[in-house]
């Protein structure tokens, strides 16, 4: 008889539907100089990009896995395909995307959201390359650039060269180096001074191939006084093989500019999600992170904001869910490097069925960053007696002119609350689900409607089978 706390590997519906593994070109399994040169040649890159790739490869080979956090010993690059070009060309019309690939994005609702004018630009990546990209004409007329990263490199090389690798250095950690050696796909966004991109841009990354990695690079530059909301969605079907995600997101938010970066990561449970995200924020600029981490066997993700200009602000709101066999190690990092800067971090984590959830964060205040204000709130909810939650905050303050607050709560659903709801005629399973959704509600409110719906659906999927 199944124990009350035992869970089965859940059916993720459309997210686990896979297409046959077809491709136009791919590299062999493994990672070496020949493969890196092959990727660069396939993209017809300038010499300086190949040079950066080879430098990053050297760093990757020299660095060890982190000595802290989840165990990454199963990540064997000899078993990973680092580049797969799908059997499709870049299209600006969904009808020109091959039926098999288009059908996947149709089921995920991406074309429909664009048709209903909920998005002002859309990019869709399948395996290692972007297969669809569009942007509304009124944004083009204002000088906004939104394209796939490969096109950005060829058509706006001077801009890309100025910013590429300046926010995230390949030497940051082993998988940042891996990314810079084998990056492919991703998005390039440039918003000119004073322009308000009032309807979100969205890029969706779908990894279909078994035993493969996805290494998209996102570079966003928001000039002085401009505003933008960028949405990132990710998913992959489940395979009995190692899949790896090691993308990079570099964000440059200039003086008086605002960028909201929303993400729902919905990977399968054979995925190692080792993504790196960082923003540099200018005077009176503002970065807002909204993050949902679901799926994956292991996640290590800690978006960082460097508040480099006086009056710069950071807001981070995130939620993660760790089920059976999952180790979701996430958090946020803020560097206060100027005067009158403000940051807030609100993190919520849920675990069940023996899953491990960890908040791992950093707030650092430089010695010359006067009048700093920062608040950190971490709340963790365990749904059974098998699960684990840890809160590991690092606080590094170098001056006394700081207003800092930190609170952390870890607990289980109150039996009294469940009993009360049951006395009102609500079945036990639905009562527990109601409490969990209420716990996650502050995050859902920060997401666009369709992503809030997706997040609630993912929570419902995770809760299925956890009780009973």
Residue 106 — very low, low, confident or very high, per pLDDT cuts 50/70/90?
confident
Report whether 63 contacts 249 (CB < 8 A).
Answer: no
Look at phi and psi of residue 71 and say left if phi exceeds 0, alpha if psi is from -120 to 50, else beta: beta
Report whether 389 contacts 349 (CB < 8 A).
Answer: yes
Would you state the structure tokens that stand for residue 306, as one six-digit string?
């460097």
- DSSP letter (8 states) at residue 173: S
Examine residue 211 and state whether it is found in any structural domain, yes or no. Answer: yes
Question: What is the DSSP code string of 64-97?
Answer: PPPSSSS--TT--GGG-B--EE-S---BSSGGGS
The burial of 157, by beta-carbon neighbours within 10 Å (0-12 exposed, 13-18 middle, 19 or more buried), is given as middle
Residue 14 — very low, low, confident or very high, per pLDDT cuts 50/70/90?
low
| Region 294-316 average pLDDT | 96
Residue 466 — very low, low, confident or very high, per pLDDT cuts 50/70/90?
very low
232 sits in which H/E element? strand 227-235
Would you state the structure tokens that stand for residue 354, as one six-digit string?
């023996």
Residue 113 has pLDDT above 90, yes or no: no
Share of the chain above pLDDT 70, in %: 95
Report whether 132 contacts 123 (CB < 8 A).
Answer: yes
Report whether 83 contacts 182 (CB < 8 A).
Answer: yes
Examine residue 378 and state whether it is found in any structural domain, yes or no. Answer: yes
Residue 12 — very low, low, confident or very high, per pLDDT cuts 50/70/90?
low
Would you state the structure tokens that stand for residue 201, as one six-digit string?
């841009």
Residue 384 — very low, low, confident or very high, per pLDDT cuts 50/70/90?
confident
Task: Check residue 8 and give its pLDDT.
Answer: 41
The burial of 438, by beta-carbon neighbours within 10 Å (0-12 exposed, 13-18 middle, 19 or more buried), is given as exposed
Q: Are strands 356-365 and 333-336 parallel, antiparallel or unpaired?
A: parallel
User: Which range marks the domain in which residue 193 is found?
Assistant: 13-463
- DSSP letter (8 states) at residue 366: -
How far is Cα 227 from Cα 250, in angstroms, rounded to an integer? 16
Examine residue 388 and state whether it is found in any structural domain, yes or no. Answer: yes
pLDDT tens, residue by residue, 155-177? 999 999 999 999 999 999 999 99
pLDDT tens, residue by residue, 388-445? 999 999 999 999 999 999 999 888 887 888 888 899 888 888 888 888 888 888 777 8
Task: Give Cα 449 distance to the centre of its chain.
Answer: 18
Predicted structure pTM score: 0.93
Report whether 117 contacts 208 (CB < 8 A).
Answer: no
Task: Check residue 360 and give its pLDDT.
Answer: 96
Number of domains within the chain: 1
Return the half-sphere exposure (C-beta side, CA atoms, 13 A cut-off) of residue 36: 21
Q: 237 versus 98: which is more confidently predicted?
A: 98
Examine residue 226 and state whether it is found in any structural domain, yes or no. Answer: yes
pLDDT tens, residue by residue, 73-96? 999 999 999 999 999 999 999 999
Q: How many residues does the chain have?
A: 468
Residue 112 has pLDDT above 70, yes or no: yes
Residue 446 — very low, low, confident or very high, per pLDDT cuts 50/70/90?
confident
How far is Cα 304 from Cα 332, in angstroms, rounded to an integer? 6
Examine residue 232 and state whether it is found in any structural domain, yes or no. Answer: yes
Residue 465 — very low, low, confident or very high, per pLDDT cuts 50/70/90?
very low
Examine residue 187 and state whether it is found in any structural domain, yes or no. Answer: yes
How far is Cα 393 from Cα 378, in angstroms, rounded to an integer? 9
- Evaluated on CA atoms 40, 42, 47, 48, the torsion sign reads negative
- Evaluated on CA atoms 381, 275, 376, 67, the torsion sign reads positive
Task: Check residue 84 and give its pLDDT.
Answer: 96
Examine residue 468 and state whether it is found in any structural domain, yes or no. Answer: no
Residue 7 has pLDDT above 70, yes or no: no
Report whether 238 contacts 266 (CB < 8 A).
Answer: no
Residue 468 has pLDDT above 50, yes or no: no
How far is Cα 61 from Cα 185, in angstroms, rounded to an integer? 23
Examine residue 1 and state whether it is found in any structural domain, yes or no. Answer: no
């Amino acid at each position: 008889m199944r124990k009350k706390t035992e869970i089965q590997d859940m059916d993720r519906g459309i997210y686990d539907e896979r297409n046959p593994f077809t491709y136009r070109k791919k590299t062999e399994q493994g990672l070496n100089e020949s493969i890196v040169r092959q990727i660069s040649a396939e993209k017809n890159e300038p010499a300086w990009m190949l040079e950066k790739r080879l430098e990053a490869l050297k760093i990757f080979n020299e660095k060890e896995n982190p000595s802290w956090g989840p165990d990454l010993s199963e990540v064997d690059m000899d078993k990973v395909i680092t580049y797969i070009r799908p059997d499709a060309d870049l299209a600006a019309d969904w009808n020109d995307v091959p039926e098999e690939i288009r059908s996947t994005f149709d089921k995920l609702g991406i074309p429909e959201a664009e048709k209903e004018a909920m998005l002002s630009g859309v990019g869709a990546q399948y395996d290692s390359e972007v297969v669809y990209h569009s942007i509304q004409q009124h944004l083009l007329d204002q000088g906004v650039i939104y394209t796939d990263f490969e096109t950005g490199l060829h058509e706006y090389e001077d801009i890309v060269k100025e910013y590429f690798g300046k926010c995230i250095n390949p030497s940051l950690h082993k998988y940042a180096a891996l990314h810079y050696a084998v990056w492919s796909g991703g998005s390039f966004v440039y918003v000119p001074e004073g322009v308000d991109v009032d309807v979100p841009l969205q890029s969706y990354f779908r990894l279909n191939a078994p035993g493969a990695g996805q290494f998209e690079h996102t570079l966003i530059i928001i000039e002085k006084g401009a505003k933008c909301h960028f949405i990132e969605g990710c998913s992959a079907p489940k395979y009995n093989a190692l899949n790896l995600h090691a993308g990079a997101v570099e964000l440059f938010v200039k003086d008086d500019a605002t960028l909201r970066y929303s993400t729902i990561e919905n990977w399968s449970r054979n995925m190692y999600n080792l993504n790196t995200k960082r923003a540099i924020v200018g005077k009176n600029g503002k970065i807002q992170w909204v993050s949902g981490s679901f799926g994956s066997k292991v996640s290590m993700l800690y978006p960082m904001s460097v508040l480099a200009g006086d009056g710069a602000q950071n807001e981070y709101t995130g939620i993660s869910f760790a089920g059976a066999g999952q180790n979701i190690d996430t958090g946020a990092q803020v560097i206060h490097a100027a005067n009158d800067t403000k940051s807030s971090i609100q993190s919520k984590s849920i675990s069940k069925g023996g899953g491990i959830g960890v908040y791992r964060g950093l707030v650092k205040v430089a010695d010359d960053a006067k009048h700093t204000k920062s608040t950190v709130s971490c709340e963790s909810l365990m749904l059974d007696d098998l699960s684990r939650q840890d809160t590991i905050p690092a606080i590094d303050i170098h001056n006394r002119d700081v207003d800092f607050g930190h609170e952390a709560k870890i607990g289980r659903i109150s039996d009294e609350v469940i009993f009360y709801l049951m006395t009102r005629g609500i079945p036990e399973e639905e009562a527990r689900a109601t409490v969990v959704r209420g716990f996650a509600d502050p995050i859902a409110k920060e997401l666009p409607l369709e992503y809030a719906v997706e997040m609630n659906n993912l929570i419902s999927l995770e809760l299925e089978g956890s009780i009973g």
